[in-house]
Structure 1
Amino acid sequence: MELELRHLRVVCAIADAGSVTKAAAELGVAQPALTAQLSRIERALGGPLFDRDHRGVRPTSLGELVIARARMLLPAMTGLLDDATRLADPARGASIPDHLSIGSSSPAVLAPLIQRLEQRHPDLRVSTTASWSADELARALADGRLDYAVIGICGGDVAPDDRAITWRTFSVDPVFVMLPEDHGAADAAEVPLGALAGEAWAATPGDGCFQECFAAACAREGFAPRSLYVADAASCIELVSSGTAVALCQPTRVLPGLVTKPVADAPLRWRHLVGWRTDSVGADFADELLLTVRMAHNDLVSRSPVYAAWLEQNPGFGEQHDPGITPAV
């Protein structure tokens, strides 16, 4: 077996968790599968990486070396891929606007998007607007009040309809469930929706069919949700922390004291899109913005070991590429 970056992420996850069982739960994989993967990694490296006892695992001398190198290599490889993307760009020299106005209904991706834009274009001024409503952002885009909109919609829905707006999907993510870390299902690799039939639920607001799709998914499991609290993200987190509800959430969400788990068979999904007016001044920058949004989303995935591990087993999800989009710097 050839050693890959994903194997180094597994080793770091086990070291951070302090046990294979806890790491398997955090990564959303079965414990026997993770144990077998660790054995293959150890064979490839020529020796055991961890000593195991009733208290968990402790790195061996070889393990300490591998973990230390992995913690240097993983961020370095991310930087290498970013730099390679820029250097391989055949459209270098394309027009870069002085200012961009970006609206977003996907708050999780907004901060890493701003950070990425600052890294790639330090002289570019960016202003942002947040709204839970994709339809509202689409109207602002159509009216020329925004240059770009980054939105999320239910996987069963369609993008806001306006012939003047071009939409491109950059990711399709499953909807996970957020639980208190002492919840009975917190150690499960994935949680059947029916196992939460007695819970109250929380979710952030949104346009379209998401609530209907959630109710339909529950009905297929033989129950109706006891209640659904639609609230801002901070209130949803508080409801989960207090044990009042469990929350439907993005799979990249990572918070102390809470766990984010896949729902068995991924009955709900969320589609992320970038939109712009095809006749706008900033339209020439669209390919570059789309590339940067993908990078920002990948940054979120890299910070979520549970989702990163889940994506390895479910390759149809995650980053999406529309044909004909060429990144520009």
Structure 2
Amino acid sequence: MQLELRHLLAIRRIAEAGSLGMAARRLGVSQPALSAQLKRIERAFGGELFIRGPLGMEPTRLGHFVLTRARQVLSEMDSLGAEARGLATGGPLRMGCTLLVLIDDFLHRTDIMTASPELTVDIGFSVTMLIRALAAGQYDAVLYGEVNDHRVALPDNSEARTVVAREPFCVRLSAAHPLASRDVVSLADLAGEKWLAQAEDDDGGPEALAAACAQAGFSPRLRYRITDRKLSHELVAAGRAIALTQPTASAAPGTVLCPLARTPLTGRIRLAWNRSTVTSGQAELLHRAATLSYLALVDTNPFHRQWWDAHPALHTALD
């Protein structure tokens, strides 16, 4: 087998994730397919690259050597893409975003505020892949979320600003759910529920939910992983699942949003950009568009307006 860059990326993803399952999700392939690919890669290198240890998939001596060289090669390719993009002129400003609630309004505002150069926007479901695309020069800027204490590692050629420092996640329930009439819901009350997993599985969300539920005395049953908003809302409305959501989300037909007691899960929204391809003025416009889009949604739910007003230190700069 002739080795390709995608093989080196697969090796790095396995090392970063510590498991084939997580690495497969971040690469957008099935676990059996990644396992079979790893075996072919190992045959090409002449030995095992990983062994299963107490902390998951751990590199062997050969694996450490290959990983070091693979990271060097991938870093060089990232630099090549970014530097070539920096020399190009006249192209559109390219942006990647995760599926945040503010995206709809953000797209409208950027159409008005950043008319030159033209802005193109892709919606993705993996923060890791967005950041890698930023490092490789495929995107000039990315807008993404992080959960609780999770911090996304940014490439050296980038800069970042926080749009929203902290927001409390709430839970979406069927309007017919026994807890739907409550002003606030505790995680412990949701111990027997089936959950819709978040579309982004590498923003710290799954780990934060598992940790918060464990503290509440149970393990969440993750039944669905849906990236389509309409379908996820329909599943919740039918009483087949519940879901975490941003406090700025609208209550879709047949569903209600309830805040979680003691705010066990919070989100943060960040904007990162490539310093060599985005001017400080363009970065300021993108940040302002994202900020105004979020502020326009604060009053969507009264409970979030109350929380927002009670935490002025978190958003003084936004206002």
TM-score range (shorter-chain normalised) is 0.5 to 0.7
Question: d(CA) in 1 for partners of 2:276 and 2:96?
Answer: 18
Q: CA deviation at 1:228?
A: 4.2
Aligned match of 2:159: 166
Residue by residue over 1:220-248, the C-alpha shift from the partner in whole angstroms, topping out at 9 and shown as x without a partner, is: 11122233422213332222011011111
Amino acid at match of 1:273: R
Amino acid at match of 2:178: G
2:175 paired residue among 170, 176, 181: 181
1:106 paired residue among 92, 95, 99: 99
Question: d(CA) in 2 for partners of 1:122 and 1:306?
Answer: 36
Question: d(CA) in 1 for partners of 2:182 and 2:209?
Answer: 21
Question: d(CA) in 2 for partners of 1:305 and 1:256?
Answer: 18
Question: d(CA) in 1 for partners of 2:180 and 2:163?
Answer: 30
Aligned match of 2:219: 224
Structure 2, unmatched stretches of 5+, are 1-89
2:190 paired residue among 193, 196, 203: 196
Question: d(CA) in 2 for partners of 1:126 and 1:305?
Answer: 34
Secondary structure at the residue paired with 1:274?
A: strand
Q: Identify if the C-alpha distance between structure 1 residues 304 and 123 changes in structure 2 by more than 3 Å, giving closer, same or farther.
A: farther
1:285 paired residue among 282, 293, 303: 282
Secondary structure at the residue paired with 2:296?
A: helix
Secondary structure at the residue paired with 1:307?
A: helix
Q: CA deviation at 1:320?
A: 7.0
Question: d(CA) in 1 for partners of 2:290 and 2:310?
Answer: 23
Farther-moved stretch of structure 1 (111-120 vs 305-314): 305-314
Residue by residue over 1:235-264, the C-alpha shift from the partner in whole angstroms, topping out at 9 and shown as x without a partner, is: 322220110111111111112321111100
Aligned residue pairs total 225
Q: Identify if the C-alpha distance between structure 1 residues 281 and 213 changes in structure 2 by more than 3 Å, giving closer, same or farther.
A: closer
TM-score (norm 2): 0.65
- Across the aligned residues of Structure 1 and Structure 2, the Cα RMSD in angstroms comes to 2.2
Residue by residue over 1:258-302, the C-alpha shift from the partner in whole angstroms, topping out at 9 and shown as x without a partner, is: 111110011011111000011224444112211111001111223
TM-score (norm 1): 0.63
Q: Identify if the C-alpha distance between structure 1 residues 122 and 284 changes in structure 2 by more than 3 Å, giving closer, same or farther.
A: closer
Q: CA deviation at 1:132?
A: 0.8
1:250 paired residue among 246, 253, 262: 246
Q: Identify if the C-alpha distance between structure 1 residues 203 and 156 changes in structure 2 by more than 3 Å, giving closer, same or farther.
A: same
Give yes or no for the alignment of 1:126 onto 2:122: no
Question: d(CA) in 1 for partners of 2:154 and 2:168?
Answer: 24
Higher RCO (C-alpha 8 Å, min separation 6)? 1
Question: d(CA) in 2 for partners of 1:276 and 1:243?
Answer: 40
Question: d(CA) in 1 for partners of 2:180 and 2:312?
Answer: 24
